[in-house]
Amino acid sequence: MLLTPARLRSLLSGVLAPGGHVALAALIANDDFRIDGERVTLTIRIDGTDADAWEPIRREAQERLASVSGITSALVVLTAERKGQGAVAPEAASGFAALAGIRHIVAVASGKGGVGKSTTTCNLALALAGMGLKVGVLDADIYGPSMPRLFALKGQPTVKSGRILNPLEAYGCKVMSIGFVVDSEAAMIWRGPMVASAITQMLRDIDWGALDILLIDMPPGTGDAQLTLSQQGRLAGAVIVSTPQDLALIDARRGVTMFRDVGVPVLGLVENMSYFLCDACGKRHDIFAHGGARREAERLAIAFLGEVPLDMEVRRRSDDGVPVMIAAPDSAPAKAYRLIATGLRERLRGLQPAAI
Protein backbone atom coordinates (compact mmCIF):
# COMPACT_ATOMS: atom_id res chain seq x y z
CA MET A 1 0.00 0.00 0.00
CA LEU A 2 1.26 3.46 -0.85
CA LEU A 3 2.61 5.33 2.14
CA THR A 4 1.45 8.92 2.11
CA PRO A 5 1.66 11.50 4.90
CA ALA A 6 -2.14 11.76 4.94
CA ARG A 7 -2.46 8.00 5.43
CA LEU A 8 0.18 7.96 8.15
CA ARG A 9 -1.58 10.77 9.97
CA SER A 10 -4.82 8.84 9.90
CA LEU A 11 -3.02 5.87 11.43
CA LEU A 12 -2.24 8.04 14.42
CA SER A 13 -5.84 8.97 15.11
CA GLY A 14 -6.64 8.14 18.69
CA VAL A 15 -3.17 9.12 19.91
CA LEU A 16 -3.59 12.14 22.12
CA ALA A 17 -1.14 14.91 22.95
CA PRO A 18 -0.19 15.46 26.64
CA GLY A 19 -3.22 16.54 28.61
CA GLY A 20 -5.43 14.08 26.72
CA HIS A 21 -7.60 16.59 24.87
CA VAL A 22 -5.93 17.27 21.56
CA ALA A 23 -5.29 14.65 18.88
CA LEU A 24 -1.65 14.27 17.93
CA ALA A 25 -2.70 14.19 14.27
CA ALA A 26 -4.06 17.71 14.62
CA LEU A 27 -0.66 18.99 15.72
CA ILE A 28 1.41 17.59 12.89
CA ALA A 29 1.60 18.59 9.27
CA ASN A 30 2.13 16.37 6.25
CA ASP A 31 5.65 17.62 5.80
CA ASP A 32 6.56 16.54 9.33
CA PHE A 33 6.76 13.04 7.83
CA ARG A 34 9.78 11.90 5.91
CA ILE A 35 9.08 8.82 3.83
CA ASP A 36 12.05 7.05 2.35
CA GLY A 37 10.90 3.83 0.72
CA GLU A 38 9.76 1.67 3.62
CA ARG A 39 11.29 3.93 6.26
CA VAL A 40 9.31 6.63 7.95
CA THR A 41 10.42 9.43 10.23
CA LEU A 42 8.00 11.75 11.97
CA THR A 43 9.20 14.90 13.67
CA ILE A 44 6.91 16.29 16.36
CA ARG A 45 7.59 19.91 17.23
CA ILE A 46 6.98 20.51 20.90
CA ASP A 47 7.40 23.15 23.52
CA GLY A 48 10.85 22.51 24.93
CA THR A 49 9.67 22.20 28.50
CA ASP A 50 7.23 19.36 27.76
CA ALA A 51 9.70 16.70 26.70
CA ASP A 52 8.98 14.28 29.56
CA ALA A 53 5.21 14.38 29.03
CA TRP A 54 5.72 13.77 25.32
CA GLU A 55 8.00 10.75 25.63
CA PRO A 56 5.24 8.08 26.08
CA ILE A 57 3.28 9.65 23.22
CA ARG A 58 6.34 9.62 21.02
CA ARG A 59 6.79 5.93 21.79
CA GLU A 60 3.15 5.09 21.12
CA ALA A 61 3.20 6.91 17.78
CA GLN A 62 6.40 5.12 16.85
CA GLU A 63 4.97 1.72 17.76
CA ARG A 64 1.85 2.38 15.71
CA LEU A 65 3.81 3.40 12.65
CA ALA A 66 6.20 0.47 13.05
CA SER A 67 3.34 -2.01 13.10
CA VAL A 68 2.01 -0.90 9.70
CA SER A 69 2.69 -3.41 6.97
CA GLY A 70 4.98 -1.89 4.39
CA ILE A 71 6.96 0.06 7.00
CA THR A 72 10.22 -1.61 7.96
CA SER A 73 11.52 1.18 10.17
CA ALA A 74 9.66 3.93 11.99
CA LEU A 75 11.25 6.67 14.01
CA VAL A 76 9.42 9.41 15.85
CA VAL A 77 11.54 12.22 17.23
CA LEU A 78 10.70 15.23 19.34
CA THR A 79 12.20 18.57 18.55
CA ALA A 80 11.84 22.04 19.99
CA GLU A 81 12.80 23.57 16.70
CA ARG A 82 10.11 25.68 15.11
CA LYS A 83 9.79 25.81 11.37
CA GLY A 84 11.78 28.60 9.79
CA GLN A 85 13.58 29.24 13.04
CA GLY A 86 16.77 27.88 14.50
CA ALA A 87 16.72 25.38 17.33
CA VAL A 88 15.54 26.89 20.58
CA ALA A 89 17.58 25.79 23.55
CA PRO A 90 17.91 22.19 22.45
CA GLU A 91 19.31 21.12 25.80
CA ALA A 92 16.19 22.29 27.58
CA ALA A 93 14.04 20.82 24.82
CA SER A 94 15.12 17.30 25.32
CA GLY A 95 16.40 17.31 28.84
CA PHE A 96 19.96 17.46 27.56
CA ALA A 97 21.17 19.62 30.40
CA ALA A 98 24.28 17.44 30.57
CA LEU A 99 25.33 18.81 27.21
CA ALA A 100 25.24 22.42 28.34
CA GLY A 101 28.96 22.48 29.19
CA ILE A 102 30.04 21.18 25.80
CA ARG A 103 31.14 23.72 23.24
CA HIS A 104 31.12 21.59 20.12
CA ILE A 105 29.64 18.18 19.43
CA VAL A 106 31.10 16.56 16.33
CA ALA A 107 29.97 13.29 14.78
CA VAL A 108 32.60 11.06 13.18
CA ALA A 109 30.81 8.98 10.60
CA SER A 110 31.40 6.66 7.69
CA GLY A 111 29.12 5.24 5.07
CA LYS A 112 30.15 1.70 5.93
CA GLY A 113 32.02 -0.26 8.57
CA GLY A 114 35.68 -1.19 8.60
CA VAL A 115 37.09 2.02 7.14
CA GLY A 116 38.80 2.96 10.41
CA LYS A 117 36.21 5.38 11.77
CA SER A 118 36.70 4.34 15.40
CA THR A 119 40.49 4.33 15.15
CA THR A 120 40.32 7.80 13.64
CA THR A 121 37.93 9.04 16.35
CA CYS A 122 40.19 7.77 19.13
CA ASN A 123 43.42 9.22 17.73
CA LEU A 124 41.76 12.45 16.65
CA ALA A 125 40.45 12.88 20.20
CA LEU A 126 43.97 12.37 21.55
CA ALA A 127 45.42 14.81 19.03
CA LEU A 128 42.85 17.44 20.10
CA ALA A 129 43.60 16.74 23.76
CA GLY A 130 47.30 17.15 22.95
CA MET A 131 46.49 20.70 21.81
CA GLY A 132 45.28 21.45 25.31
CA LEU A 133 41.58 21.02 24.62
CA LYS A 134 39.15 19.25 26.94
CA VAL A 135 37.89 16.31 24.93
CA GLY A 136 35.25 13.63 25.33
CA VAL A 137 34.45 10.61 23.18
CA LEU A 138 31.00 9.07 23.00
CA ASP A 139 31.11 5.63 21.43
CA ALA A 140 27.73 5.47 19.74
CA ASP A 141 28.73 2.58 17.51
CA ILE A 142 26.20 0.38 19.24
CA TYR A 143 26.72 -2.55 16.85
CA GLY A 144 30.43 -2.76 17.52
CA PRO A 145 31.63 -0.53 20.33
CA SER A 146 35.42 -0.25 20.09
CA MET A 147 36.36 2.53 22.50
CA PRO A 148 36.79 0.18 25.49
CA ARG A 149 39.47 -1.68 23.51
CA LEU A 150 41.04 1.37 21.85
CA PHE A 151 41.42 3.21 25.16
CA ALA A 152 42.08 -0.04 27.10
CA LEU A 153 39.24 0.83 29.44
CA LYS A 154 37.57 -1.83 31.52
CA GLY A 155 35.02 -1.52 34.24
CA GLN A 156 31.81 0.37 34.55
CA PRO A 157 30.92 4.02 34.84
CA THR A 158 30.14 5.13 38.38
CA VAL A 159 26.82 6.72 39.28
CA LYS A 160 27.02 10.43 39.92
CA SER A 161 23.47 10.87 41.13
CA GLY A 162 20.14 9.39 40.15
CA ARG A 163 20.46 8.13 36.62
CA ILE A 164 23.45 10.32 35.75
CA LEU A 165 26.72 8.44 35.16
CA ASN A 166 30.32 9.62 35.20
CA PRO A 167 32.24 8.83 32.02
CA LEU A 168 35.49 6.86 32.27
CA GLU A 169 38.78 8.55 31.55
CA ALA A 170 41.91 7.57 29.62
CA TYR A 171 44.91 9.59 28.40
CA GLY A 172 43.11 12.77 29.48
CA CYS A 173 39.95 12.06 27.44
CA LYS A 174 36.53 11.35 28.92
CA VAL A 175 35.06 8.25 27.33
CA MET A 176 31.62 6.67 27.36
CA SER A 177 30.70 3.56 25.46
CA ILE A 178 27.71 1.29 25.38
CA GLY A 179 30.37 -1.41 25.64
CA PHE A 180 30.88 -0.43 29.31
CA VAL A 181 27.30 -1.25 30.19
CA VAL A 182 25.99 -3.83 27.75
CA ASP A 183 27.80 -6.89 26.51
CA SER A 184 28.34 -6.59 22.81
CA GLU A 185 26.27 -9.61 21.83
CA ALA A 186 23.21 -8.03 23.41
CA ALA A 187 23.98 -4.79 21.60
CA MET A 188 24.14 -6.64 18.30
CA ILE A 189 20.47 -7.54 18.36
CA TRP A 190 19.33 -3.99 18.94
CA ARG A 191 17.73 -2.36 15.98
CA GLY A 192 16.64 1.00 14.68
CA PRO A 193 14.71 3.03 17.19
CA MET A 194 16.23 1.18 20.13
CA VAL A 195 19.66 2.13 18.94
CA ALA A 196 18.53 5.72 18.57
CA SER A 197 17.09 5.86 22.07
CA ALA A 198 20.19 4.23 23.58
CA ILE A 199 22.33 6.93 22.01
CA THR A 200 19.97 9.64 23.20
CA GLN A 201 20.24 8.24 26.70
CA MET A 202 24.02 8.13 26.58
CA LEU A 203 24.10 11.74 25.50
CA ARG A 204 21.60 12.88 28.09
CA ASP A 205 22.59 10.88 31.13
CA ILE A 206 26.36 11.30 31.16
CA ASP A 207 27.97 14.02 33.20
CA TRP A 208 30.48 15.25 30.63
CA GLY A 209 31.30 18.38 32.59
CA ALA A 210 33.00 21.19 30.67
CA LEU A 211 34.32 20.05 27.29
CA ASP A 212 35.67 21.93 24.31
CA ILE A 213 34.72 19.12 22.02
CA LEU A 214 32.79 15.87 22.20
CA LEU A 215 33.48 13.45 19.37
CA ILE A 216 30.76 10.94 18.68
CA ASP A 217 31.83 7.70 17.04
CA MET A 218 28.69 7.02 15.00
CA PRO A 219 27.35 3.63 13.98
CA PRO A 220 28.31 2.97 10.36
CA GLY A 221 25.76 3.76 7.68
CA THR A 222 23.06 6.33 7.38
CA GLY A 223 20.25 5.12 9.57
CA ASP A 224 17.92 6.28 12.27
CA ALA A 225 20.67 6.79 14.82
CA GLN A 226 22.30 9.41 12.64
CA LEU A 227 19.01 11.16 12.13
CA THR A 228 18.14 11.19 15.81
CA LEU A 229 21.53 12.50 16.78
CA SER A 230 21.40 15.13 14.12
CA GLN A 231 18.09 16.35 15.43
CA GLN A 232 18.56 15.91 19.15
CA GLY A 233 22.27 16.03 19.64
CA ARG A 234 22.97 19.64 18.79
CA LEU A 235 25.68 18.60 16.35
CA ALA A 236 28.14 21.29 15.30
CA GLY A 237 28.96 19.15 12.32
CA ALA A 238 30.19 15.84 11.03
CA VAL A 239 33.54 14.46 9.89
CA ILE A 240 33.30 11.67 7.32
CA VAL A 241 35.97 8.97 7.23
CA SER A 242 36.51 7.02 4.03
CA THR A 243 39.10 4.76 2.47
CA PRO A 244 40.25 5.69 -1.01
CA GLN A 245 38.43 2.93 -2.87
CA ASP A 246 35.52 3.95 -5.00
CA LEU A 247 33.11 1.75 -3.15
CA ALA A 248 33.85 3.37 0.17
CA LEU A 249 33.59 6.78 -1.44
CA ILE A 250 30.13 6.01 -2.71
CA ASP A 251 29.17 5.23 0.88
CA ALA A 252 30.92 8.36 2.10
CA ARG A 253 28.95 10.41 -0.42
CA ARG A 254 25.74 8.94 0.98
CA GLY A 255 26.87 10.01 4.47
CA VAL A 256 27.55 13.54 3.28
CA THR A 257 24.10 13.72 1.68
CA MET A 258 22.41 12.41 4.80
CA PHE A 259 23.98 15.03 7.07
CA ARG A 260 23.23 17.77 4.56
CA ASP A 261 19.61 16.64 4.35
CA VAL A 262 19.19 17.11 8.09
CA GLY A 263 21.02 20.43 8.11
CA VAL A 264 24.24 19.30 9.81
CA PRO A 265 27.36 20.90 8.30
CA VAL A 266 29.94 18.45 7.00
CA LEU A 267 33.19 19.73 8.48
CA GLY A 268 35.39 17.63 6.26
CA LEU A 269 36.49 14.33 4.82
CA VAL A 270 39.36 12.17 6.11
CA GLU A 271 41.01 9.59 3.89
CA ASN A 272 42.13 6.64 6.00
CA MET A 273 44.46 3.86 4.83
CA SER A 274 45.39 6.38 2.21
CA TYR A 275 48.77 4.93 1.24
CA PHE A 276 51.17 2.34 2.64
CA LEU A 277 54.47 3.40 4.16
CA CYS A 278 56.72 0.35 3.98
CA ASP A 279 58.90 0.01 7.04
CA ALA A 280 61.19 -2.41 5.16
CA CYS A 281 61.96 -0.37 2.04
CA GLY A 282 60.97 3.05 3.37
CA LYS A 283 58.95 3.77 0.23
CA ARG A 284 55.41 4.92 -0.02
CA HIS A 285 53.04 2.65 -1.92
CA ASP A 286 49.68 3.84 -3.17
CA ILE A 287 47.92 0.52 -2.83
CA PHE A 288 44.49 1.86 -3.54
CA ALA A 289 43.99 4.69 -6.00
CA HIS A 290 45.19 7.25 -3.48
CA GLY A 291 43.72 10.75 -3.59
CA GLY A 292 40.14 9.75 -4.28
CA ALA A 293 38.83 11.34 -1.10
CA ARG A 294 40.56 14.64 -1.80
CA ARG A 295 39.01 14.77 -5.27
CA GLU A 296 35.64 13.74 -3.88
CA ALA A 297 35.83 16.43 -1.20
CA GLU A 298 36.47 19.01 -3.91
CA ARG A 299 33.57 17.71 -5.94
CA LEU A 300 31.26 17.86 -2.94
CA ALA A 301 32.61 21.27 -1.93
CA ILE A 302 33.66 20.12 1.53
CA ALA A 303 37.00 20.47 3.28
CA PHE A 304 39.59 17.74 2.94
CA LEU A 305 41.02 17.34 6.43
CA GLY A 306 43.86 14.96 5.66
CA GLU A 307 45.07 11.47 4.93
CA VAL A 308 46.21 8.77 7.34
CA PRO A 309 48.60 6.11 6.02
CA LEU A 310 47.89 2.44 6.26
CA ASP A 311 50.39 1.53 8.93
CA MET A 312 50.85 -1.70 10.87
CA GLU A 313 51.62 0.33 13.98
CA VAL A 314 48.15 1.87 13.94
CA ARG A 315 46.50 -1.52 14.07
CA ARG A 316 49.01 -3.05 16.49
CA ARG A 317 48.83 -0.14 18.93
CA SER A 318 45.04 -0.13 18.69
CA ASP A 319 44.92 -3.79 19.63
CA ASP A 320 47.28 -3.10 22.55
CA GLY A 321 45.09 -0.29 23.87
CA VAL A 322 47.85 2.28 23.56
CA PRO A 323 46.79 4.36 20.55
CA VAL A 324 49.48 5.39 18.11
CA MET A 325 49.08 9.05 19.16
CA ILE A 326 50.37 8.03 22.60
CA ALA A 327 52.68 5.14 21.69
CA ALA A 328 54.42 6.78 18.75
CA PRO A 329 53.69 10.51 18.72
CA ASP A 330 56.36 11.22 16.09
CA SER A 331 55.19 8.59 13.63
CA ALA A 332 53.64 9.47 10.26
CA PRO A 333 50.11 8.50 11.33
CA ALA A 334 50.37 10.59 14.54
CA LYS A 335 51.47 13.58 12.48
CA ALA A 336 48.54 12.99 10.14
CA TYR A 337 46.09 12.91 13.05
CA ARG A 338 47.53 16.17 14.42
CA LEU A 339 47.09 17.82 11.04
CA ILE A 340 43.49 16.63 10.87
CA ALA A 341 42.88 17.89 14.42
CA THR A 342 44.27 21.31 13.47
CA GLY A 343 42.05 21.42 10.40
CA LEU A 344 39.00 20.42 12.41
CA ARG A 345 39.73 23.05 15.02
CA GLU A 346 40.05 25.66 12.28
CA ARG A 347 36.70 24.62 10.86
CA LEU A 348 35.09 24.83 14.32
CA ARG A 349 36.61 28.25 14.88
CA GLY A 350 34.73 29.36 11.80
CA LEU A 351 31.45 28.27 13.36
CA GLN A 352 29.31 30.18 15.81
CA PRO A 353 28.78 30.61 18.66
CA ALA A 354 31.66 29.28 20.76
CA ALA A 355 35.03 29.18 19.11
CA ILE A 356 37.86 27.07 20.51
Alpha-carbon distance of 272 to 278, in angstroms, equals 16
The residue ranges of DSSP E strands in the chain, in sequence order, are 33-36, 39-45, 73-79, 102-109, 135-139, 159-161, 164-165, 168-170, 173-177, 211-217, 237-242, 266-277, 284-285, 304-310
- Binding residue (CB under 6 A) for ligand ADP from 272, 304, 305, 334: 272
In angstroms, rounded to a whole number, what is the distance separating the alpha carbons of residues 93 and 232?
A: 9
| 320/312 Cα distance (integer angstroms) | 12
Residue 189 has, within 13 A of its CA and on its CB side, a CA count of: 4
Q: Does 236 bind ligand ADP (CB under 6 A)?
A: no
Q: Scanning residues 327 to 356, which ones bind ligand ADP (CB under 6 A)?
A: 333
Question: Which stretch of DSSP H or E encloses residue 297?
Answer: helix 292-300
Give the residue, chosen from 37, 56, 114, 263, that forms a contact with ligand ADP under the rule CB under 6 A. 114
The reply on whether position 255 binds ligand ADP by CB under 6 A is no
Which C-beta is closer to ligand ADP: that of 110 or that of 177?
A: 110
Phi, psi of 54 (to 5 degrees): -80, -25
Tell me the number of residues near ligand ADP by CB under 6 A. 18
Q: Is residue 175 near ligand ADP by the rule CB under 6 A?
A: no
Q: How many CA atoms lie within 13 A of 92 on its CB side?
A: 10
Residue 315 binds to ligand ADP (criterion: CB under 6 A): yes
Contacting residue, 18, 113, 265, 291, with ligand ADP by CB under 6 A: 113
- Which one of the spans 9-17, 175-183, 224-232, 313-321 is the region binding ligand ADP (CB under 6 A)? 313-321
**218 scored as a contact of ligand ADP (CB under 6 A):** no
Contact between 216 and ligand ADP by CB under 6 A: the answer reads no
310 counts as binding ligand ADP under rule CB under 6 A? yes
The smaller minimum CB distance to ligand ADP, of residues 32 and 251, is found at 251
CB of 126 to ligand ADP, least distance (A): 14
Which residues are within 8 A (CB) of 123 and not within 5 positions of it... i.e. 6 or more apart? 314, 323, 324, 325, 333, 334, 337
146 binds ligand ADP (CB under 6 A): yes
Interface with ligand ADP (CB under 6 A), residue from 43, 79, 110, 177? 110
Task: Give the amino acid at 134.
Answer: K
> Which residues of this chain interact with ligand ADP, rule CB under 6 A?
110, 113-119, 146, 272-273, 308, 310-311, 314-315, 318, 333
